[in-house]
């Protein structure tokens, strides 16, 4: 019986007794409080998302993200070019370290691959396979562009990387005479074409401003380099057009270098694409194993920059190839 009274009392409270109403009020108050807290949390979460989105947009539009934008375009483009390159098709691995390996602000983080079989064939007047690997001056994050444009930078108008030239005529030793001596006139046509038509023209340099001339070549034979003997080293002076110009319209090259920048004090009387003298170093070797010439190169305003790039980056190049007899290194 006592137990039955207790059960009835419990029903009475649940059915509307003062005690039951009080309990319902407390529970409703708690629900309202929880709903309010959830609304506040959702409001705060939305605010955080909006702030993060605004910060991301501001970063992407700021000069600080310029190198990230460049890499987002050039890294996949380079990979696509590699898949179509003479390197990939012939089973050759030409690995040149990028600027990221030095852990300092000097060069662009990666080495980019580009192919132009057709263009180089027209320029040389013979059918060749041609792939170029290259890197250029690092990005100035506050200007939003590469110091490649900056006349006071040690990396002004500078590149380093490699070329591979494979003539369709398998008996041709491109860049070398029959006696094994280097043919500097023929070899110079490769960086000449690269600088004039792949680099400067892509920046909008007019035809009457295009200039490239290599002089005062100092040649050394039988150089040990990149794990192989028999290289020819060529040091020379290069007179060429600079990349200095004002932005007028978009050019495709801006995707990798960023937009050109000019200091306000230098704008008066500015001659766009004016001529500069650079220092050049090239290592050339014909590889009988895959019947192609490889050239490793550096071009910079001073021998100091050339020597530093040589010792820290270019000399660490690794060359391998796939052969059934396992002769590749």
User: Both tokens of residue 229?
Assistant: 């003997």
Q: What average pLDDT does this structure show over 283-312?
A: 97
With cut-offs at 50, 70 and 90, classify the pLDDT of residue 263: confident
Q: What average pLDDT does this structure show over 131-152?
A: 95
Kind of pairing between the strands at 292-300 and 275-287:
antiparallel
pLDDT at residue 264 above 60?
yes
Question: Rounded CA gap, 137 and 156, in Å?
Answer: 7
Kindly tell me the sign of the dihedral angle through the C-alpha atoms of 43, 45, 48, 50: negative
More confident residue, 306 or 65: 306
Question: Rounded CA gap, 42 and 36, in Å?
Answer: 10
Residue 300 pairs in a beta bridge with 279
- Listed in sequence order, the residues at least 6 apart from 211 whose beta carbon sits closer than 8 Å to its beta carbon are 196, 239, 240, 241, 275
Q: What is the pLDDT of residue 324?
A: 43
CA distance readout (Å), 276 to 65, 150, 172:
30, 12, 34
Q: Where are the alpha helices (DSSP H) in the chain?
A: 2-15, 18-61, 66-83, 86-90, 117-124, 184-193, 254-257, 303-312
Question: What would the pLDDT profile of 82-98 be if each residue is shown by its tens digit?
Answer: 999 999 999 999 999 99
Q: What is the pLDDT of residue 12?
A: 42
Question: What would the pLDDT profile of 315-325 be if each residue is shown by its tens digit?
Answer: 999 999 986 44
Average pLDDT over the chain reads 86
Q: Which single residue is written with the structure tokens 């310029």?
A: 66
Residue 139 pairs in a beta bridge with 146
DSSP 230-250: EEEEEEEEEEEE-------S-
pTM over 0.75: yes
Question: Rounded CA gap, 272 and 245, in Å?
Answer: 5
Nearest Cα neighbor of 214 from 235, 244, 242, 243 is: 235
Q: What is the pLDDT of residue 142?
A: 86
More confident residue, 3 or 29: 29
Q: What is the pLDDT of residue 24?
A: 60
């Amino acid at each position: 019986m006592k137990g039955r009274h207790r059960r009835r009392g419990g029903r009475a409270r649940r059915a509307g007794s003062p005690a039951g109403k009080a309990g319902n009020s407390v529970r409703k108050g708690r629900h309202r409080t929880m709903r309010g807290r959830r609304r506040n949390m959702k409001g705060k979460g939305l605010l955080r998302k909006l702030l993060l989105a605004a910060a991301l947009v501001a970063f992407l539009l700021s000069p600080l993200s310029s190198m990230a934008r460049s890499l987002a375009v050039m890294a996949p483009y380079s990979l696509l070019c590699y898949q179509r390159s003479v390197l990939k098709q012939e089973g050759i691995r030409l690995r040149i370290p990028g600027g990221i390996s030095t852990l300092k602000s000097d060069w662009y983080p990666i080495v980019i691959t580009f192919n132009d079989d057709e263009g180089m064939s027209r320029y040389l007047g013979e059918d060749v396979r041609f792939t170029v690997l290259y890197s250029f001056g690092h990005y100035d994050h506050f200007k939003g562009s590469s110091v490649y444009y900056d006349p006071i930078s040690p990396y002004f108008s500078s590149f380093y990387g490699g070329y591979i030239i494979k003539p369709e005529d398998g008996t041709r030793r491109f860049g070398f005479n029959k006696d094994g001596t280097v043919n500097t006139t023929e070899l110079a046509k490769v960086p000449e074409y690269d600088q004039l038509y792949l680099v400067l023209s892509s920046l909008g340099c007019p035809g009457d401003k295009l200039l490239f001339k290599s002089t005062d070549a100092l040649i050394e034979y039988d150089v040990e380099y990149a794990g192989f003997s028999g290289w020819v080293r060529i040091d020379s002076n290069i007179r060429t057009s600079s990349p200095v110009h004002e932005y007028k319209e978009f050019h495709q090259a801006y995707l990798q270098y960023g937009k050109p920048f000019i200091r306000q004090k230098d704008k008066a009387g500015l001659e766009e694409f004016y001529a500069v003298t650079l220092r050049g170093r090239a290592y050339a070797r014909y590889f009988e194993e895959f019947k192609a010439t490889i050239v490793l190169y550096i071009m910079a305003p001073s021998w100091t920059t050339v020597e530093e790039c040589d010792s820290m980056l270019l000399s660490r190049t690794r060359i391998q190839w796939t052969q059934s007899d396992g002769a590749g290194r």
